[in-house]
Amino acid sequence: MKLLFVADPLESFKTHKDSTFAMMREAARRGHALLACEPQGLRWRRGEPVTATAREITLTGDEHDWFRVAAEHPALALKDTGAIVMRKDPPFDSEYFYATHLLGQAEREGARVFNKPAALRDHPEKLAILEFPPFIAPTLVTREAADVRAFHAEHHDIILKPLDGMGGMGIFRVGPDGLNLGSIIETLNGGGARTLMVQRYVPEIVHGDKRVLVIGGRPVPYCLARIPQGSEIRGNLAAGGKGVAQPLSEADRRIAEALGPVLAARGLLLVGLDVIGDSLTEINVTSPTCFQEIMQQTGFDVAAMFLDALEAAL
């Protein structure tokens, strides 16, 4: 089967930890042909199917010089592939949005896309948690500074974050003294021009911001707890957090088993739930990671579970 990965430039992959690479390696092991393109290579011309400027690649086994180009495809019709795996990293900006529309058209022409383009648009990664109130800490989404101040007055210790942030960027904590709250609100909401999210601080962050992977509606039995280091409040690996794989807790499993079938039915084959303590904080749908860290520390082959689910969905 031909598998097309829509992703960031292959040359930028850090293969020792990249989850997309882990998917590719397992797919190649199963005999699937690997193709790759970047979102800017998608094209839709009047009267023609959606195509991509794609490269067919083979894996070398070398960690650094890790692929060879076997063939160039200047106008690969997406409908002629076996499956398309959308793995472009955030931010979810206007170009990402347009790419989902092109992939949606390819679906109408017969392509199979995972995660489904419409589901990617319908599940903004921070906002999506509000659909599941029993599993989240007190949370507010607003543009209004007065709303944020009232939320702080009620909960005293809060986290503020932009809706379009990634890797822990733009996250602030404000304690009971309210120090710098006004300045932080101004920074994040641009004088009321941008929406932000406010949540009650969850002190269990010291034990890690857990990434719980859900594949085909079923949880991976291990999560990766991303533990803040030093004076940081952020556990994100991109912000210097330490990743520690561990079995799912009862709360982790309860959340994953409640949300997994719902999200899978909407076309989300792979989801990364972020959980602090027993509170859901994000639903990651664009390019959930941590495959290799979990595999390296526990021996559980997350990529194999993903390929099993992908093949079963076709």
Active site residues: 126, 161, 211, 226, 234, 274, 282, 284
Q: How far apart are CA 27 and CA 306, in angstroms?
A: 10
Q: How far apart are CA 245 and CA 114, in angstroms?
A: 26
Q: Which amino acid is at 187?
A: T
Q: How far apart are CA 274 and CA 132, in angstroms?
A: 13
Residue 300 contacts by C-beta under 8 Å, 6 or more apart in sequence?
220, 221, 222, 294
Contact, 286 vs 8, CB < 8 A? no
Tell me the two tokens of residue 78.
Answer: 């997406």
Q: Left if phi > 0, otherwise alpha if psi is -120 to 50, otherwise beta: which for 180? A: left
Alpha carbon separation from 252 to 165, 212, 311 (Å, rounded)? 24, 7, 26
Residue burial 111-128, b: 16+ Cβ < 10 Å; e: rest: bbbbbbbbbbeebbbbeb
| Tokens 């664009």 -> residue | 286
For 296, the 3-state DSSP assignment is helix
